[in-house]
Every structure is written in structure tokens, then in C-alpha cells.
Amino acid sequence: MPLLTWLHRWWGVLFALLFAIWFASGIVMHFVPFPARSEGPLSSGVDAHAAVETVDYDQWTVAGDFDSDRPLRRIVLNDQAGTEIYVSSRSGKVVLTTTRGVRLMNYVGSIPHWLYATELRHQRKTWSTLMWWLSLLATIGAAIGVVVGLVRFRSGSTYQGLQRWHHIFGLIFAPFLLAWIFSGFLSLADNWPLRSFHTLDFALLAPRPLLRSIVIVALCLCGVAFSLTGAVLAWRRLRAFR
């Protein structure tokens, strides 16, 4: 048991803040997802004075979905919405449209959630391996925390102060959050049968979008609170270690 407690504490130093970022960004990306490929004809009404440049890839087109279209023409429309469109050099069709608001929200949503730094994401094998290991290690750390919390509860010993709140949050929410974190790890695999669990897109909630959104936001907020208490405890531990 002392070994598990030691592992959980130092796992928290490494992962508590990352958990908080994952949960907080998850709320944003639920409402504003990452811009997806969507083909359409190039409108004849595009402003002739729009800024045009050729790009091989950037933050929004680094995914493999656009490989057959490279290089792309990025057209900045200079409109009120800050619209930018990407045109395939092969087909001449618009393959992606983004607005300033969507781009800004993704910088606090999908990009930190999936570690979508452009150059890292461009190295697809490296990015995939990094996400796989981070998710696996985070799942193991959370599982150790659940075990430590349950053993501590059964022994009748209690924490004080912030540790007590972290323990309470853990006992109440950790089983659900652990299942969600683990499903996020599984969702890295294409066509995994439990992939829909991570987005709560299953029969009970899918037909009820408002309820689904409420559940997702509630779980994420619980995850943020749980993770931030862990992050503060980890910071205190580091300061004491110094």
C-alpha cells in the first residue's frame, strides 16, 4: 500500500494538470469541434481582392484527410466573420471552411485536448505514439488513485484540508471519470466498438442532445475540480521536496 500511495502522489505531479486541461478543453470541443473536411464548389462570389496563398499544411489541414489535395490554396475573405477557405489544387473544390470564432475556440478546445500542435501532428506516428502512452499512463495513474482512495476509506483514516476534498471527489466521481478516461484511451483506435462511450453518443443519450450536453459538461466540471485539487496538492509536494 505505501508503494501505491507513493506512486499515486508522484503520478499526480506529472498528470494532474494535464487531466485538468483535458477535462476543461473537453467542454469547449463538445460545443465547437475541430473543423472537419467538407467539400463544395468554389463560389463565384469570392472577393477578387481576398488574400490568397499556397500552403502544404497548417493547423487546420495537417490531418491526412487532405493529403490528396495538397498543396492547398488558402483564401482569406477579409469578411466580418474572419472566414478562411481551403481549395484543393487537384479538384478545385473547397475542402475546408473556418471562421475566426471557430479557430479561436479550438485553441482552447481540440488543440490542447488532443495535443494538436501543428508540427507534432504532422509527425503522425510520433503524435499517435505520444497520445497512446499519455492516455495509458494517465489511466493507470487514475486507477491507482481509485485503489488508494478505497483502501483509505475502508481503513477509516481520513485526510485533512484539501486532501480531504480530493479524497471525497475521488470516491464519488473517480469510477465514472476513470471509465471515461479509459474510453478516451480506447478511442485512439479506429472503429473501436466502445468509441461512442467517450462522447456519450449511445442509445440513451444520443436522441436527447440537451441531456447529453448537460451530462458531458457536468462530468467535465467534476473532472476539472478533481484534477485541480490534485494539481494544487502536487504543487505543494514539489515545493516541500525542494
pLDDT of 5? 73
Please tell me the distance from the alpha carbon of residue 209 to that of residue 205, in angstroms, as a whole number.
7
Question: 72-76 and 51-55 as β-strands: parallel, antiparallel, unpaired?
Answer: antiparallel
Longest dimension (CA), the chain: 73
Q: What is the pLDDT of residue 183?
A: 74
What pLDDT is attached to residue 116?
93
Question: Which ranges constitute the DSSP H helices of 32-160?
Answer: 100-106, 110-113, 118-122, 124-155
Q: What pLDDT tens digit does each residue of the chain (242 aa) get?
A: 677 776 777 777 778 888 889 889 999 999 999 999 999 988 876 766 678 999 999 999 999 999 999 999 999 998 899 999 999 999 999 999 999 999 999 999 999 999 999 999 999 999 988 988 888 888 888 888 878 777 776 776 667 777 777 777 777 777 777 777 777 777 666 665 556 667 777 777 878 889 989 988 988 888 888 888 888 887 777 777 65
Residue closest to 146 by CA, chosen among 194, 181, 111: 181
pLDDT of residue 156: 64
Pair 186, 194: CB distance under 8 Å = yes
pTM: 0.83
Taking Cα atoms as reference points, which of 76, 80, 37 lies closest to residue 55? 76
3-state DSSP call for residue 122?
helix
